[in-house]
Structure 1
Amino acid sequence: MESKDMKFGTKAIHAGLEPDSATGAVMTPIYQTSTYHQEAPGIHKGFEYSRSGNPTRSALEQNIAALENGKFGFCFGSGMAAIDAVLKMLQPGDEVLSTNDLYGGSYRLFTKIYAQFGIKFTFISMSEMSEVEKHVTEQTKILWVETPTNPMMSILDIGAAAKISKKYQLTLVVDNTFASPYLQNPLDLGADIVMHSVTKYIGGHSDVVMGALITNDERIADQLYFIQKSSGAICGPMDSFLVLRGIKTLHLRMQRHCENGKAVAYYLKNHPKVDKVYWPGFEDHPGHKIAKAQMSDFGGMISFTIKGNKKDDAFTFLSNCKVFTLAESLGGVESLLCHPATMTHAAIPKEEREKIGVVESLIRMSVGVEDIDDLLSDIENSLSLI
């Protein structure tokens, strides 16, 4: 059965995977090797050196590509390495037009590393895509979209972005980390490249750091493979194996993330000590209609502020949760808490952070798959100390 004919759960378990030809092993083996035997110079079984290709990594790349309805997948040593590979497609003088509400690590790589090599980065609000077109110049080569955004949970219209990119022959890149392939498939909506921090929902168990890029464009795929092979920011076979294992429950985990996320979002919204709650499932969320159209559910990522906007109150809440863990990252089976202003988005200048809503009392939640009663009790106990 072709992967394109499979439903998502079946693809997660089977797409791109075959029993091991040597032993019949059902699970993809960990090919812990750096090099491969050749019968004669240039005559081999498809693998020469593990930087350019490894059977475990190749199986994972095919599987992830299938989840995004893509033809070509590439896995890297981290999400940042994946973003780095995209930027290496550019030339000095080129411009990236990016949303102003994005992951702090992306902002840091853009402004502190690639800007000094002559790449221009322009950060704008993309809540209204009709306004984005006004900022396109002859130098613009990439339209960088993140949706839902990190950490403000804004929803950007991928289809509208695709129309702009096609009109001006731009490469549309969508960071799909917060949604995962289970909730959203940007290639189907017109994106050229989908990026994932595989560390998050795809891996799902907080035990691997990895990134991925997926495309249907053969020209782009050829460029990305050349960059991946030449720069060498690959992931190892053990990590590839762990992510393949994690993916097999992605659909099951995401269902629970969404259920728990909804319950937590409504609980926070009705709590007297909570001010604003950012979650696209609310009908009064500015991007709710778009989210409903381009996502299959609203996910388990939530951001909220505490009334009074005091940093000390946020720290009191963060330090007293027992089930939620205060830590970087997101998307694992365990529930995590983050203070964006001092953690994930500290690289963004304070005035720029606060323009988009990353204030001192903003807390980001990655709602896990624990029992919902324990999560709600943990939130209540911690809020009661403020």
Structure 2
Amino acid sequence: MSYLENNLRTVPTGPTKLLYLNWPIVLLLATVASVGFLMLYSVAGGSLEPWAEPQMKRFALGLTVMIAAAMVPVWFWRNVSGLAYGVSLLLLLLVEFHGTTGMGAQRWIDLGIIRLQPSELMKITLVMMLAAYYDWLDIGKTSRPLWVIIPLFLIALPTYLVLRQPDLGTSILLVTGGGIIMFLAGVSWWYFVGVVGAGVGAVTAVFSSRGTDWQLIKDYQFRRIDTFLDPASDPLGAGYHITQSKIALGSGGWTGRGFMQGTQSRLNFLPEKHTDFIFTTLAEEFGFVGAFSLLSLYVAVVFFCVVSAIANRDRFGSLVTLGIGATFFLFFAVNMAMVMGLAPVVGVPLPLVSYGGSAMLVLLLGFGIAQSAHVHRPRTR
């Protein structure tokens, strides 16, 4: 028996696995979700309906899913990664032909009890697929061109399908999240330099295509970019959202106007106050202190994911945990940058706070897989 085998004990079994959950992450996620319940109660004018109560039920279901996923051995998630990725691709194709349209975009599949957004599922299954790929691939081959093309294809295919919906925000998250996994797996820096160069070229091509027969993005997406660059150019039209968002953010000051005292949300000046722009409602009611506190909770979740990944000797478990943490980071970073005018409005929800079903359930499933990697990781005696 080798030294390593002699100094490893078997992973926990049965109900004792609950004791090995990464409880700081569980408590932090519950706290963040509770902030969401509070804000949804506020934007509804002091009522649990129509948003807070359904959100509580979804979180309870999602928490159950997370714990159930954590109890499953991590080797199972590794083995089903390819299948999960394939199913997500099929669902994206199904959206293309039979999807439900909402707010000008065809992104959902109506399952009766819930409207599933396959692009949300793809964010997690792409992380699983790439983590399984790099777990299988010999480390010495990580930066060889042939073995770099494969993950690029795995990222590009769902990104193309999501762009067709159209959903620019999710497409950006897929590309960025996939790139982070490749970087963490050890792909050479030179590839990322090339990607940055290609990105500059792509942005140039997008702007050059405006008004032509080969226009690469939709007109409303160009309007979002125009609004980002100069919100005051159309304050009552395309710039209305971000203008009202900035007013709400600024009026909160250091400590805010007080719970349920936000004028921008209560008087319905702030659009999408229960989804994409819920962070501005929180900042208006609880000020800089409240906004910074929520940001601190988010950062703490990412920190514990990184700590868990570093301590994990299993390559798949480590990469999938870092991937879930990175996806979570991109969610809140893009949303906060968006509502503060630091990035174009691309429709990315604030994780566990914005009202929504698919995003919450899939994200908690992702954390369940990360918890599985934590519970079943090799441990020293």
Which interval holds the TM-score relative to the shorter structure? under 0.3
Q: Which has the higher contact order (CA 8 A, sep 6+)?
A: 2
Higher share in strand: 1
Higher share in helix: 2
TM-score by length of 2: 0.27
